[in-house]
Amino acid sequence: MRKHAIQCFGQGAVDAAMNGEVKKNSDGSIFAAFARAGQQPVNVTHRMHTNPEARAHIVQWVTESTRPPHLANDRGFRTLMTAGRPALHVPSGQTVTRDIYNSFIKCKETIDKLLRDYPGLLNFATDAWTSPNHRAFAAWTVHLQHEGVPFSFLLDIIEVPESHTGAALARAFDQMLASHGLSDKACHRILAWTGDNASSNDTQTSSMSGMRTNSFNERNRVRCFAHTINLIVKAILKPFSASEKKKKGDDDGKEGDEGKGDDDTDSIPDLASVSDSESFRGAFDDDEEEGMGSEDEDVASDLEDDDDEAFDKYGALDEEEKKDFDAGTKAVKKSLDKVRTGA
């Protein structure tokens, strides 16, 4: 029996039971409880959960896997849970919702104490958005490190039923700190806060820096690097995604529009065919042809001839040089095409 118990529960659990020691967890540290996946203490049970344990695990499953609480009302789910365990009580979706809220209150108290007792500096991050049902929210997270391991906690998601101005977001941040009992703590322990490049966040930084309840320094604002990269990529791709302007009342233009189809996500023009087609109009082309005088038309004609000569340089290449040129630009064209089409 001892050998079987060691195989099932492990040597440490058997020794603890023989010595009369009862341990719920090998590491009771709050940091161990919030460790990354693969670092949490492993607790494998070989017995049926009690009803309170089952409710706790359902709350953990629903929140971690982002499942709707009413899933507990599903007939198939309840059948699977109670098969062979007729004594197990499966909570209703309403009970799961209530348990999630109660668990949040308990976890909030624990995290609040952890942050108040934390000896280092705290870093905050925020984002604001509007839900599909037109409800405006702002979310705040806190980031810290313990023994070289980074930890992140979602502090709260607050509804901001007003315009997301910098002053409104700053007030929401101050209220969030007060609700967690961090007003005095954060006054002298904020290392930085991170937000995107929206102008409202610039105003929020100034508002937070000027608040008496918060000694946040304006120079500690960190701009979201991912948002910065997103803006850079959009600026780079803008010339390639600009659609050609249509001329109204131009018969030739109407004929040129025939056969284009309804798909407005045209692929990037192949460089080899540019010399045989009309010049590509990017986002930097100026449509100033209307109202031109005869002299202006002559100048424009000369410029178009110069452009044609520039594009004809590809046609001047021999077959071997064309192959090298196409091979060298193929990867770039394919990457840009995928970015544009979202493939």
Closest CA to 256 of 281, 286, 290: 281
pLDDT of residue 74: 92
Q: Does the structure show a pLDDT above 90 at 220?
A: no
pLDDT of residue 289: 45
Q: What is the mean pLDDT of the segment spanning 121-132?
A: 83
Helix then strand then coil, in percent of the chain rounded to 5, is 55, 10, 35
- How far apart CA 188 and CA 175 sit, in angstroms, is 17
Report the amino acid identity of residue 14.
Answer: V
Q: Partners of 158 in the beta sheet?
A: 138
- How far apart CA 265 and CA 243 sit, in angstroms, is 9
Q: Partners of 127 in the beta sheet?
A: 139
Most confident of 27-41, 58-72, 122-136, 220-234: 58-72
Q: What is the mean pLDDT of the segment spanning 34-56?
A: 67
Q: What is the mean pLDDT of the segment spanning 49-60?
A: 87
Q: Does the structure show a pLDDT above 80 at 335?
A: no
Q: Does the structure show a pLDDT above 70 at 245?
A: no
Q: What is the mean pLDDT of the segment spanning 151-168?
A: 80
Q: Does the structure show a pLDDT above 70 at 63?
A: yes
Closest CA to 192 of 240, 234, 141, 149: 141
Residues listed for the chain? 343
Three-class SS of residue 286? coil
CA distances from 318 to 41, 273, 311 (A): 67, 15, 15
| pLDDT tens digits, one per residue of 262-306 | 444 444 444 444 444 444 444 444 444 444 444 444 444 544 544
More confident site: 22 or 116: 116
Q: What is the mean pLDDT of the segment spanning 241-245?
A: 54
pLDDT of residue 58: 92
- 24 Cβ neighbours under 8 A, 6+ residues apart: none
pLDDT of residue 264: 42
pLDDT of residue 59: 92
Q: Does the structure show a pLDDT above 80 at 98?
A: yes
More confident site: 312 or 121: 121
Domain ranges of the chain: 2-105, 118-223, 234-341
CA dihedral 23, 26, 31, 35 (to 10 degrees): -130
